[in-house]
């Protein structure tokens, strides 16, 4: 009985420790592609660079959101403006993280009038881990057109601040 109980405790502990990760915590290698499914069922493929991410030979702004985050909602008009103003030089991609369903993510996009790409994929968490285990949202990271890290922000920030950093790399 004691051996059976010990075995069950070990099995339970291992399950908690390793979970059902499906390689989600596996680090991203340089030049590795990471495919993310969007809320409208398209695929966006980012490429990991030595110190950042590359997409479509444009500068990249990655915005990590949750669907229940008021500061995230406030940030959306700023990101819409930047995406529209710099559409030839910039890709804005939001990554929904947290416990939302696809339906909640789609409602978030439509209710907030999002004009940029929004992904809802298990790899969003993997990407957040690659950026240092993002623990607060909104979180924004900017990369130049060569995939090099430029800057990041935790929390809602004024559009003018983001734009000033973007103008340095265009």
Assigned domain for 19 exists: no
Distances (CA, A) of 102 to 23, 96, 113, 138: 21, 10, 17, 19
113-118 LR contacts (CB < 8 Å, sep 24+) = 113/76, 113/77, 113/80, 114/76, 114/80, 115/80, 115/83, 115/84, 116/79, 116/80, 116/83, 116/91, 116/92, 117/38, 117/44, 117/91, 117/92, 117/93, 118/38, 118/39, 118/93, 118/94
Q: What is the mean pLDDT of the chain?
A: 87
Domain that holds residue 103: 26-169
6 falls within a domain? no
CATH number for the domain that contains residue 104 = 3.40.30.10
- Torsions phi, psi of 34, nearest 5? -130, 115
How many residues belong to the chain? 170
Residue 1 belongs to a domain = no
Cα(82)–Cα(68) distance, rounded to whole angstroms? 23
> Is the separation of the CB atoms in 96 and 66 below 8 Å?
yes
Query: Does a structural domain hold residue 72?
Result: yes
For 128, the token pair is: 């957040």
Q: Is the bond into 138 cis (omega within 30 degrees of 0)? A: yes
Does 135 score more than 80 pLDDT? yes
Q: Is 86 part of any domain?
A: yes
Residue 10 lies in a domain: no
Q: Give 141 or 13, the one with higher predicted confidence.
A: 141
Alpha-helix runs per DSSP H in 22-122? 70-85, 102-111
The structure tokens 């390793």 sit at: 18
Total domains present in the chain: 1
Residue-wise pLDDT tens digits, 71-115: 999 999 999 999 999 999 999 999 999 989 999 999 999 999 999
Residue 2 lies in a domain: no
Record the pTM.
Answer: 0.84
C-alpha 86: how far from its chain's center? Answer: 20
Q: Determine, yes or no, domain membership for 5.
A: no
């Amino acid at each position: 009985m004691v051996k059976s109980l010990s075995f069950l405790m070990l099995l339970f502990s291992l399950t908690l420790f390793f979970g059902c990760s499906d390689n989600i915590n596996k680090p991203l290698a340089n030049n590795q592609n990471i495919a993310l499914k969007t809320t409208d069922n398209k695929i966006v493929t980012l490429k990991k660079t030595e110190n950042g991410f590359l997409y479509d030979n444009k500068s990249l702004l990655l915005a990590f959101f949750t669907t229940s985050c008021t500061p995230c909602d406030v940030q959306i008009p700023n990101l819409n403006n930047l995406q529209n103003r710099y559409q030839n030089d910039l890709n804005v991609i939001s990554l929904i993280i947290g416990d939302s369903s696809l339906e909640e993510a789609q409602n978030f996009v439509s209710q907030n009038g999002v004009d940029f790409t929004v992904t809802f994929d298990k790899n969003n968490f993997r990407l957040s881990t690659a950026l240092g285990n993002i623990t607060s949202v909104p979180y924004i990271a900017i990369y130049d057109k060569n995939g090099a890290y430029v800057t990041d922000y935790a929390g809602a920030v004024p559009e003018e601040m983001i734009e000033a950093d973007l103008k340095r790399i265009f």
